[in-house]
Structure 1
Amino acid sequence: MSQMSTYAQDYLPYFHRYQDEYFQRLESLVNIDSGTGQVEGINRVMDYLLQWLVEAGFVVELHPSAGFGNNLVARRQGKGTVRMLLVGHVDTVYPAGAVQAQPFAIKDGVVSGPGVLDMKSGVLLAVYVVRALLAAGFEQYKELVLVFNNDEEVGSRGSIPLLREIARDIDYALVLEPAGKPGSLTHSRKGTDKYVLEVHGIAAHSGAEPFKGRSAVVELAHKILAIQNLHAMFPGVTFNVTNLSSNEPLNVVPDMARCSISVRSFYAHGLDVAAAALEKIAGSSSVPDTRSTLLRTTGRPPYQPTPEVLRLVELAEMEALTLGVQLKAEPKGGVSDANILIDAGVPTLDTLGPVGGGMHNLEREHMLVDSMPIRGALVAGLLQHICLSDHA
């Protein structure tokens, strides 16, 4: 991609004009409980988005997903050669009643409310990005596609087939997950695997004849310590043990114990060597006569900074400078739908949404008002830059 003119500064006035309406609409979205699986709320949010995108001249389809509500796909044809995708999710991590406990509010330049940062503000910003492009008369794209899904917070399992299908016909993707700082940008994320480790021992009365028992809990404790030691063997790969459970009677040596394990790595090889190490731990025993099973569920693949992604970073940095922002692309340990898109072969740039903090904490989640026009202009300018680039 060659050095060219920049465009973000041309879009800044549009987003300043949109600002009042944007926050009115954001209030409507945030004040709907839409935690993952809260189908009624998810669908109400999608209905708002559908209406606004149809008004902007998009062809919009809803794709129902059992137990999660609708996913939304919006398309608009242009006159250029590049097919661009903007991605976001409308589900939040909060239970029903979160809106009543912490409704939308703006005070001293800070916006609060459930899901305001992660990521209803980013989803709505995508709507205004394409609106700004249309208002400016920019049509030098082959197709603009927006995908808003309903289950990202639990791994996008219901929407991954939809994302992969759409990705087949996409050249570049921009994910509007939130930014933690004005200069934040993400070019890589760890991939994830999930495991259930289950240990089976031998039950016995803990008072009368404990020596006849083989404690699954004690065996699991040995295994957990061995798993923690893997951090020293595989730097950059993380192992997190959660969800401990076992038989409950106090007078019985427990014959079953179980835990969950979350493994993350920036590289697929790291996930595979972790799998081999965990299998070895599961296959050995410290307590005689105990046996273990290990179930691996593959999660999102790693999102890696390919040469194409690094070129997108360069373009974003150029556009940001015209807005007075110095971007710094960094790796992130958390996952997003960028993991899916990069695995599908689409060069993807992430955390292009508004700036804020306190994600997944109802009392702390917030978005900075002033970040909306800056980030909107950045995404619009970047999208135009990609579409007009010599080698797009």
Structure 2
Amino acid sequence: MSQIPPVNTYAQSYLSRFQTYQDELLQRLETLVNIDSGTRQAQGINRIMAYLQEWLTELGFTVTLHPSEPFGNNLVARRKGKGKARIMLVGHVDTVYEAGSVEKRPFCIRDGIAYGPGVIDMKSGDLMGIYALRALAEAGFEQYDELCVVFNNDEEVGSAGSAPLLKAIAKEFSVGLVLEPASTLEQIINSRKGTNKYIMQVAGIASHSGSSPTKGRSAVLELAHKIIAIHNLHSLFHNVTFNVTDIRSNEQLNIIPDKASCQISVRGYTNQSLDKAAEALEQIAAGSSVPDTRTTLIRTRGRPPYTSTPALKRLEEMVVAEGQALGLKLVLEPRGGVSDANLLMGAGVPTLDSLGPVGGNLHNLQKEYLQIDTLPIRGSMLAGLLQHICLSNLTGA
């Protein structure tokens, strides 16, 4: 009986190297975290990009900056090699926090946990990716045609300004790796929901709420009926979520409101489910519980969903093997939140996501954290995965 030959893995050879990087990496992480870089805080974002440009240039990458107003610079770094693989690594430097957040919650380390704005989402992942590239360079590994790193400036608001750049670059590459954080040491994300955004606007009839209340037709009351109907869609659509927010109306207290609106975020794992959700929302908009009210619904398509493909399954097998080499039993999971992996997969590039370090409490200024001891493990796994891809036949090497 023939035996299946063992799979060559490479992550274990990078672990000790990553452990020697730890102190410097944390020093650099403190520098980046202590710069306010909320979306549209262009000055801080550009300061961070300048540091990243310097550190990537030291590794032999050619770096270009691509401004997109009002967000600041995007960064694209490229390095040519001697093989065939073409791999794209992606991260973002913007956070969700307002200016002044660093002063309220500067970088600190307590009991092996690092805290600070953007420490896990995702400045530590950006740095870990750079150090994985450094590990390859110091090992003399160049069996790739080109490595490309893209750090963008507006991921937290949907990558509106950077999406054209990401999609254009993605067409040049055969593999995408996204450095978003993981929730556990053994987690890898291999599918994400897509998003649609809606504005629902209701028009009623204004009237004085005291002297002639029966002549009015309340847009607020009609919108309330519709919001309840939208919430009830959860029982009809499996794995699709409907979230209503930003509810608005006329401000006059003595007038029955003739205007009301809300925004709706819809997320689903397939385009088909998003389209069916759109049909259901249109039906809700077309009906009325309050007579003489009219509703309009405006749909804006966001980042597309992505699910596993045959090419992505090959990547999954490789990262699982590299995790096993470090004693990890990786779990490939879906996630409801979106990332730039949605854009890369939408451009036809098989992409693994959440390859960064482990942490949690994203978007919570007081609690966001990084588990420091996961940096060498996840970093060496990433370096091993890069080498594994380059030496595989996935990209024709």
Q: Same fold, TM exceeding 0.5?
A: yes
User: C-alpha separation between the residues in 2 aligned to 1:171 and 1:269?
Assistant: 26
Give SS of 2:40's match.
coil
Query: Paired residue for 1:356, among 348, 355, 359?
Result: 359
CA RMSD of aligned residues (A): 0.9
Shift of 1:126: 1.0
1:53 equivalenced with 2:68 (yes/no): no
Shift of 1:390: 2.7
Give SS of 1:37's match.
coil
Stretch moving more, 233-242 or 346-355? 233-242
Q: Which residue of 2 aligns with 1:381?
A: 384
User: C-alpha separation between the residues in 2 aligned to 1:124 and 1:391?
Assistant: 26
What's the CA shift string for 1:262-302, capped at 9, x where partnerless?
A: 00000000110111111111111111111011111111000
1:100 equivalenced with 2:117 (yes/no): no
Is the contact made by 1:185 and 1:330 (CA closer than 8 Å) also made in structure 2? yes
Q: Which residue of 2 aligns with 1:318?
A: 321
Shift of 1:147: 0.2
Q: Which residue of 2 aligns with 1:336?
A: 339
Matched residue count? 391
Stretch moving more, 224-233 or 254-263? 224-233
User: C-alpha separation between the residues in 2 aligned to 1:200 and 1:350?
Assistant: 43
1:171 equivalenced with 2:177 (yes/no): no
Q: Which residue of 2 aligns with 1:246?
A: 249
Q: Which amino acid aligns with 1:209?
A: S
User: C-alpha separation between the residues in 2 aligned to 1:362 and 1:33?
Assistant: 12
Q: Which residue of 2 aligns with 1:66?
A: 69
Q: Which residue of 2 aligns with 1:289?
A: 292
1:225 equivalenced with 2:228 (yes/no): yes
Change (3 A) 1:391 1:244: closer
1:38 equivalenced with 2:38 (yes/no): no
Is the contact made by 2:7 and 2:321 (CA closer than 8 Å) also made in structure 1? no
Stretch moving more, 320-329 or 32-41? 320-329
User: C-alpha separation between the residues in 1 aligned to 2:6 and 2:274?
Assistant: 38
Is the contact made by 2:314 and 2:394 (CA closer than 8 Å) also made in structure 1? no
Q: Which residue of 2 aligns with 1:130?
A: 133
Following TM superposition, the consecutive aligned residue runs of length 4 or more in structure 1 with deviations greater than 3 angstroms are none
Question: Where do 1:6-25 residues align within 5 Å?
Answer: 6-25=9-28
Q: Which amino acid aligns with 1:162?
A: L
Give SS of 2:7's match.
coil
User: C-alpha separation between the residues in 2 aligned to 1:390 and 1:206?
Assistant: 73
Is the contact made by 1:4 and 1:389 (CA closer than 8 Å) also made in structure 2? no
Shift of 1:358: 1.0
Give SS of 2:393's match.
coil
Q: Which residue of 2 aligns with 1:156?
A: 159
User: C-alpha separation between the residues in 2 aligned to 1:110 and 1:123?
Assistant: 18
Q: Which residue of 2 aligns with 1:278?
A: 281
User: C-alpha separation between the residues in 1 aligned to 2:293 and 2:97?
Assistant: 39
Is the contact made by 1:149 and 1:159 (CA closer than 8 Å) also made in structure 2? yes
Q: Which residue of 1 aligns with 2:85?
A: 82
Give SS of 2:200's match.
strand
TM-score by length of 2: 0.97
1:298 equivalenced with 2:301 (yes/no): yes
Is the contact made by 1:357 and 1:365 (CA closer than 8 Å) also made in structure 2? yes
What's the CA shift string for 1:27-58, capped at 9, x where partnerless?
A: 00000000000000000000000000111110
Determine what percentage of the aligned residue pairs are the same residue. 62
TM-score by length of 1: 0.99
Q: Which amino acid aligns with 2:269?
A: F
User: C-alpha separation between the residues in 1 aligned to 2:302 and 2:213?
Assistant: 40
Give SS of 1:269's match.
helix
Which blocks of at least 5 consecutive residues in structure 2 are unaligned?
none
Shift of 1:247: 0.7
Q: Which residue of 2 aligns with 1:368?
A: 371
Q: Which residue of 1 aligns with 2:265?
A: 262
Stretch moving more, 192-201 or 319-328? 319-328
Question: Where do 1:206-221 residues align within 5 Å?
Answer: 206-221=209-224
Which blocks of at least 5 consecutive residues in structure 1 are unaligned?
none
What's the CA shift string for 1:176-200, capped at 9, x where partnerless?
A: 1001111111000000000010000
Shift of 1:3: 6.1
Q: Which amino acid aligns with 2:144?
A: Y
Shift of 1:325: 1.3
Q: Which residue of 1 aligns with 2:7?
A: 4
Question: Where do 1:182-197 residues align within 5 Å?
Answer: 182-197=185-200
Shift of 1:379: 0.4
Shift of 1:367: 0.4
